[in-house]
């Protein structure tokens, strides 16, 4: 190899460049499987929207104004699920079976940064999933109004929600062996999807205090509330600043736990 | 304490400028009953090919894991080019490359991407990583297969790609964990050539293998470990020479001298084995088959003589003898049927030095030698002598 390349390697490379290279790898892999990624992350929320609004709404089982509740909820959920799935499942496989993460673990950066990259990638995937789900959802509920003013809050909510979900995925993916995939879906992901404020505004849960407390423990609730405040501010919602503060705090704590867990899983 | 025994048994000089230095290294996996690496001492010199040998489970991969910053040791120190791999793993990773025992290629990427992304993770500038990938794909015989998914690669191709990938960031120390296991003879020779080229380019190489001939051929020095401890560390030549009295001399004689009657036990039997000087002064009396072994055993330096019935030397020899490396098989079969007889002499001295007196002796007795083979103890003999024959 030429002297300059040698020199570049020996001098050391900035951790940011390494993380960006790994991020680029994840982008290439995602793009290669774009169809199945889309199917995984946006189909389920859209089906939910279709059943509740397109079917039950038409049959008058559900109030027409419910789409103002559900559409933002579904956008938040698609981002959250996309982020969680981008990390948890691949990590379980890469650590447990394919070992393909090992090459990245040998990159000249602290190992926990390789874990952090996963969370970053997850947050970006959340944004992408939400960006696909929102227009598709608007088509399904036949509501063409988009509140441009709410865009910054929308993006922030989806990003922070995706970040928190990615960190949860990091924890799950490094703690569970691949044989426990079924358990992960049944005992962790499914309950999270129904306690995350997708199908109801959190303030309206006052009549069910125990459930209100339970949902308050799920970071996804704050992403849903944030997206709802951004898109349909007339629906009752948690003050956006509270949601963002709680989400940020969750991100910090979950990411720290996830990075430690990732390091422990990477080293024996 | 066992560790101090090792320290005494094997002198490892601590050199400051060593490529790899391991000092009292210990690794116990959580919940394991014993240490996988147990007070290990090792020193690899810059620019050498170092063969790390040991039975299954000896701790080779664990040692490589520690040196490549993936396994955290329980105790002791390990440095790569002076960089402490535990204290400064990031700096160490810049200097080293790894080919692991099991394929860990990135299956989500194609072969070419495996190479260029590896370089990108190490900060190799974009233009250079493309040039480097092209060059390595070519030198590893993978040109034209870059776009293929690595899932479609055969085991041998994947192994070559793994080595190429490890070289993408131009490491100065390369760790190869069983790089030729599962390769066909061509690929094996190919990989050997590449390894030698790397040494010529100044790369230090640490490799593990279960192929003793490969280790002997390739390594400048070898270390033999078992149960996580170093048993021996030296050049192959020094290690095999260390097996005193374990060389062999195979002598084939064209036909037995004298009439058939001489083969009777009581004819001309020598009750005592005479000392060599006496023997040499005896008149040239032809000897019979049964006397020959005893006479040969009297030659200075010969410890034991066996008559080998069939021509192709059999590993281990008859009578439960230790499994010494066989001499090269003879071109033509020898044996009673062809009127040839082969004797195997276990010698305690340099077999070449023993050959002179033996040839002289046989010549005087009218026994023409048709074939001579010197069987040096092989690295495998050293390995078995040190680690025993029991299965792990
Ligand atoms: N991740 C692990 N967890 C627990 N024990 C392990 C782990 N890896 C290896 N061991 C144990 O450590 C010991 C040394 O294993 P290691 O893989 O280093 O041996 P090796 O010399 O490479 O063997 P082989 O020639 O079979 O590859 C073995 O007893 C093995 O069971
Ligand atoms: Mg091994």
Task: State the CATH number of the domain containing residue B58.
Answer: 3.40.50.300
Q: What is the mean pLDDT of chain A?
A: 87
SS3 annotation, B219-235 = CCEEEEEECCEEEEEEC
What ipTM was estimated for this complex? 0.86
Give the C-alpha separation, B271 to A177, whole Å.
75
Reduced to 3 states, what is the DSSP secondary structure of residue B344? strand
CB contact under 8 A, A106 and B68: yes
Reduced to 3 states, what is the DSSP secondary structure of residue B108? coil
The count of CB pairs under 8 A between chains A and B is: 106
Lowest mean pLDDT among A67-81, A170-184, B356-370: B356-370
DSSP strand pairing (B20-27 vs B204-208): unpaired
One domain, residues B139 and B268: no
Whole-number pLDDT of residue A5: 53
| Residue A196 CA, ligand 1 centroid: distance in Å | 44
One domain, residues B130 and B6: yes
Q: Is residue B182 part of a domain?
A: yes
Q: Whose CA is nearest to atom 28 of ligand 1?
A: B57
One domain, residues B335 and B215: no
| Per-residue pLDDT at B262 exceeds 50 | no
User: Which ligand sits nearest to residue B57's alpha carbon?
Assistant: 1
Q: Is B298 buried (19+), middle (13-18) or exposed (0-12) by CB count in 10 A? A: buried
Q: Whose CA is nearest to atom 5 of ligand 1?
A: B29
Helix (H) or strand (E) holding B26: strand B20-27
One domain, residues B13 and B121: yes
| Per-residue pLDDT at A14 exceeds 70 | yes
The atom number, within ligand 1, closest to the CA of B60 reads: 21
Q: What is the mean pLDDT of chain B?
A: 79
Q: Given 3-state DSSP classes, what are the helix, strand and coil percentages for chain B, each rounded to the nearest 5?
A: 35, 20, 45
| Per-residue pLDDT at B291 exceeds 80 | no
Highest mean pLDDT among A120-124, A232-236, B248-252: A120-124
Last residue of a domain, one of B210, B225, B241: B241
CB-based burial, B280-289: b 16+ in 10 Å, e otherwise: eeeeeeebbb
Q: Which residue has the tokens 């060389």?
A: B247
Last residue of a domain, one of B241, B275, B295: B241
pLDDT band at B131 (very low <50, low <70, confident <90, very high): very high
| Per-residue pLDDT at B15 exceeds 80 | no
Helix (H) or strand (E) holding B248: strand B247-253
One domain, residues B258 and B233: no
One domain, residues B330 and B199: no
Task: State the CATH number of the domain containing residue B365.
Answer: 3.30.70
One domain, residues B70 and B146: yes
B333: alpha, beta or left, given left = phi > 0 and alpha = psi -120 to 50? beta
Lowest mean pLDDT among A59-68, A69-78, B91-100: A59-68
Q: Is the CB of B53 under 6 A from ligand 1?
A: no
Whole-number pLDDT of residue A6: 58
> Residue B307 to residues B115, B248, B270, B348: CA-CA distances in angstroms?
58, 13, 18, 18
| Residue B104 CA, ligand 2 centroid: distance in Å | 14
Give the C-alpha separation, B159 to B330, whole Å.
36
Q: Is the CB of B13 under 6 A from ligand 1?
A: no
| Per-residue pLDDT at B233 exceeds 60 | yes
Interval A95-113 mean pLDDT = 90
| Per-residue pLDDT at B311 exceeds 70 | no
Q: Is the CB of B60 under 6 A from ligand 1?
A: yes
Whole-number pLDDT of residue B59: 92
Count: domains in chain B: 2
Q: What percent of chain B has pLDDT over 90?
A: 38
| Per-residue pLDDT at A180 exceeds 70 | yes
Helix (H) or strand (E) holding B27: strand B20-27
Whole-number pLDDT of residue B337: 47
Domain with B279, as residue range(s), is 247-376
Q: Is residue B391 part of a domain?
A: no
Last residue of a domain, one of B205, B224, B241: B241
Q: Do the Cβ atoms of B242 and B392 come closer than 8 Å?
A: no
The contacts of residue B391 (CB under 8 Å, 6+ apart) are none
One domain, residues B230 and B201: yes
Interval B342-367 mean pLDDT = 81
One domain, residues B81 and B217: yes
| Helix orientation angle between A15-32 and A34-49, rounded to the nearest 10 degrees | 70
Q: Is residue B66 part of a domain?
A: yes
Q: Is residue B389 part of a domain?
A: no
Q: Is residue B386 part of a domain?
A: no
One domain, residues B327 and B299: yes
Q: What are phi and psi of B81, to 5 degrees?
A: 50, 45
CB-based burial, B250-265: b 16+ in 10 Å, e otherwise: bbbbeebbbeeebeee
Q: Is residue B117 part of a domain?
A: yes
Q: Does B123 touch chain A if contact means CB atoms closer than 8 Å?
A: yes
Q: Is residue B350 part of a domain?
A: yes
One domain, residues B128 and B190: yes
CB contact under 8 A, B106 and A103: yes
Q: Does A24 touch chain B if contact means CB atoms closer than 8 Å?
A: yes
One domain, residues B49 and B139: yes
Q: Does B332 touch chain A if contact means CB atoms closer than 8 Å?
A: no
Q: Is residue B149 part of a domain?
A: yes
pLDDT 10s digits, A214-261: 888 999 999 999 999 888 888 888 888 988 999 999 999 999 999 999
| Per-residue pLDDT at B4 exceeds 80 | no
């Amino acid at each position: 190899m030429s002297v300059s390349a040698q020199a570049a390697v020996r001098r050391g490379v900035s951790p940011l460049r390494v993380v960006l290279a790994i991020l680029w790898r994840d982008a290439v892999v995602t793009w290669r499987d774009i169809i199945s990624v889309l199917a995984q992350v946006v189909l389920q929320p859209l089906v939910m929207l279709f059943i509740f609004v397109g079917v039950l709404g038409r049959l008058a089982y559900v109030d027409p104004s419910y789409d103002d509740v559900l559409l933002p909820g579904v956008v938040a959920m698609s981002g959250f699920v996309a982020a969680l799935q981008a990390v948890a499942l691949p990590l379980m496989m890469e650590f447990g079976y394919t070992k393909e993460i090992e090459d990245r673990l040998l990159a000249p950066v602290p190992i926990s940064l390789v874990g952090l990259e996963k969370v970053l990638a997850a947050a970006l995937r959340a944004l992408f999933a939400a960006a696909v789900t929102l227009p598709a959802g608007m088509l399904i509920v036949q509501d063409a109004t988009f509140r441009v003013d709410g865009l910054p809050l929308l993006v922030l909510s989806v990003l922070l929600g995706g970040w928190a979900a990615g960190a949860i995925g990091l924890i799950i993916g490094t703690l569970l062996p691949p044989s426990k995939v079924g358990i992960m879906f049944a005992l962790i992901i499914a309950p999270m999807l129904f306690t995350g404020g997708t199908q109801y505004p959190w303030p309206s849960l006052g009549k069910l205090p125990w459930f209100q407390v339970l949902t308050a423990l799920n970071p996804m609730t704050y992403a849903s509330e944030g997206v709802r405040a951004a898109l349909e501010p007339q629906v009752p919602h948690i003050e956006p600043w509270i949601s963002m503060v709680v989400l940020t705090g969750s991100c910090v704590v979950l990411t720290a736990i996830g990075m430690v867990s990732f390091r422990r899983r990477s080293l024996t | 304490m066992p560790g101090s025994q090792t320290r005494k048994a094997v002198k490892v000089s601590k050199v400051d400028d060593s490529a790899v230095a391991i000092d009292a290294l210990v690794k116990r996996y959580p919940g394991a009953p014993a240490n996988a690496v147990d007070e290990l001492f090792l020193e690899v010199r810059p620019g050498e090919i170092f063969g790390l040998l040991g039975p299954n489970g000896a701790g080779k991969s664990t040692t490589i894991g520690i040196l490549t910053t993936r396994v955290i040791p329980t105790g002791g120190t390990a440095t790569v080019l002076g960089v402490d791999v535990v204290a400064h793993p990031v700096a160490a990773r810049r200097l080293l490359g790894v080919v692991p025992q099991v394929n860990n290629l990135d299956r989500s990427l194609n072969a070419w991407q495996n190479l260029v992304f590896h370089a990108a993770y190490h900060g190799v500038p974009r233009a250079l990583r493309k040039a480097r990938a092209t060059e390595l794909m070519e030198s590893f015989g993978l040109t034209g297969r870059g776009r293929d998914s690595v899932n479609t690669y055969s085991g041998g191709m994947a192994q070559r790609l793994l080595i190429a990938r490890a070289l993408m960031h131009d490491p100065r120390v390369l760790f190869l964990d069983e790089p030729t296991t599962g390769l066909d003879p061509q690929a094996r020779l190919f990989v050997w050539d590449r390894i030698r080229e790397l040494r010529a380019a100044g790369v230090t190489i640490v490799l593990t293998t279960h192929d003793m001939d490969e280790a002997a051929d390739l390594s400048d020095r070898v270390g033999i470990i078992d149960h996580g401890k170093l048993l021996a560390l030296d050049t192959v030549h020094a290690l095999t020479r260390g097996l005193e009295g374990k060389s062999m001399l195979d002598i084939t004689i064209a036909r037995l001298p004298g009439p058939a009657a001489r083969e009777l036990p009581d004819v001309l039997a020598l009750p005592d084995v005479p000392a060599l000087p006496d023997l040499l002064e005896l008149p040239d009396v032809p000897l019979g088959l049964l006397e020959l072994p005893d006479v040969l055993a009297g030659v200075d330096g010969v410890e034991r003589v066996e008559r080998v019935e069939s021509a192709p030397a059999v590993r281990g020899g008859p009578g439960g003898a230790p499994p010494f490396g066989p001499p090269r098989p003879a071109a033509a079969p020898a044996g009673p049927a062809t009127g040839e007889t082969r004797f195997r002499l276990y010698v305690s001295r340099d077999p070449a030095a023993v050959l002179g007196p033996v040839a002289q002796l046989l010549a005087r007795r009218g026994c023409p030698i048709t074939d001579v083979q010197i069987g040096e103890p092989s690295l495998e003999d050293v390995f078995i002598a040190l680690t025993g024959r029991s299965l792990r």
